[in-house]
Amino acid sequence: MTRDLRLTFVVESGTDVRLVEGLDRHFQLNLVCRAIPDGFHVNWTPKPLVSMKVGPTKRLAFARFLAHEILSQRPRPDVVVVQGYATAALATNLVARVIGCTAVMLVCSPVEQYYLCRKDAPESGPPFRLREFYGLKALARLNAWAGSNYVVLSEYLRQVVKGHGAREAIEIIPLYGVDVERFYPSHRPRAALRSDLGLPPTGKIILFSSRIAPEKDADTVLRAIGEINAAHKRQVWLVNRSGGHESFLRRAAALGVAEHVVAGSPVDPRSELPAFYQAADLCVQASRDEGLGFSALEALACEVPVIATDVGGLRETIIPGLTGWSYPRGDARALTLQVLDVLDHPEEAGERTRRGRELVVERYAERKVFAEFERWVRGAVESRRSARRPESRGDARGRQPDSNE
């Protein structure tokens, strides 16, 4: 692995350390990050440490800061990868045109659809504002005009950016993938794993590993847990170790199910998170919308049954009857019935999860997707360099030389 290409990664809304470390293994990496109030631009400290500049919190101010950083980098980056298709992406695409480098929009989520989820869950985050929503739609279209390279996580996201008017080919590469050597089926008894993690020794454990945000729909899961314990007389615990767990506990108390919930601060996804999957009886991803859904893939890699909403990129991985169970978003009663079905049919659950792990290993393994991304970046950079060579641009009159001249 030569790491000869210089890659600048622009982080506007926070990112996962596994994405940063994966990029650093394949490229000479620089980070330019927007400061996130009460949050982290990278959720854990990368190993090894990478070059990082942190700019202003306000998005327009960060866009100016970003443009200056890219223009002043020496040597110039070969490629700039920017999150999504918002303000920072527009600055990146315009500056890349000026300096002649390759710009790539890495699209991990459907931004407008996530923003619409604020209307469904006003108690879970910032308020919905129509002006901001239309601003996001306008930025999406401007970036489709200004940029030419998209990498998206799923076919669903490819359709999203096509809807913005994207003119060029859109590459599907599910970065950051799943480390299938860390997320794997444990041979240790679940009781021992629970004891190590301080989890309840009896009853069934459902892992809800999503961060707490409007688009993740924690309320539906909490309502289902209440019904399973009360109406169906099952002892079921809901475990969450993610950002926003305090608000998760408050919602559990408001819905009268706090006694069935175990929640705490986030755990390191590289070293601590796999054990929580391995200790669980099943995993629920309740998203109102989803670009791909790595929680579901991590659970399948550990051969833990998955129930997910029938939305977005989850439809591409959690296939009823094959790799998991699905239900209509927001339907707590349907989720309850699916949980009972999984718990009552362990042999069927085992078959689906084995097929699920095969899917993850084949299509979503971390090493595979980063190698694929590196190959694609090299091709995109070489295409741009070839287009800039004098022999590829014709003579001074703007036409290609004739073979007889």
Tell me the domains of the chain and their CATH numbers.
6-177+365-386 (3.40.50.2000), 190-363 (3.40.50.2000)
pLDDT of 399 over the 50 cut = no
For the entire predicted model, the pTM comes to 0.93
Rounded to whole angstroms, how far apart are CA atoms 342 and 329? 18
Confidence (pLDDT) at 390: 61
Rounded to whole angstroms, how far apart are CA atoms 395 and 402? 10
Q: Say how many C-beta atoms besides its own lie within 10 A of residue 6's C-beta.
A: 18
Tens-digit pLDDT profile for residues 176-187: 999 999 999 999
Asked whether the bond before 75 is cis by omega within 30 degrees of 0, the reply is yes
Give 252's contacts (C-beta < 8 A, 6+ positions apart): 222, 238, 258, 260, 261, 263
pLDDT of 387 over the 90 cut = no
Degrees to nearest 5, angle at CA 85 with 83 and 87: 90
Tens-digit pLDDT profile for residues 249-290: 999 999 999 999 999 999 999 999 999 999 999 999 999 999
Confidence (pLDDT) at 391: 53
Q: Of all residues in the chain, what percent carry a pLDDT higher than 70?
A: 95
Across 59-73, 160-174, 305-319, 323-337, least confident range: 160-174
Rounded to whole angstroms, how far apart are CA atoms 7 and 3? 10
Tens-digit pLDDT profile for residues 82-119: 999 999 999 999 999 999 999 999 999 999 999 999 99
Rounded to whole angstroms, how far apart are CA atoms 374 and 217? 34
Tens-digit pLDDT profile for residues 1-17: 578 999 999 999 999 99
Q: Of all residues in the chain, what percent carry a pLDDT higher than 90?
A: 84
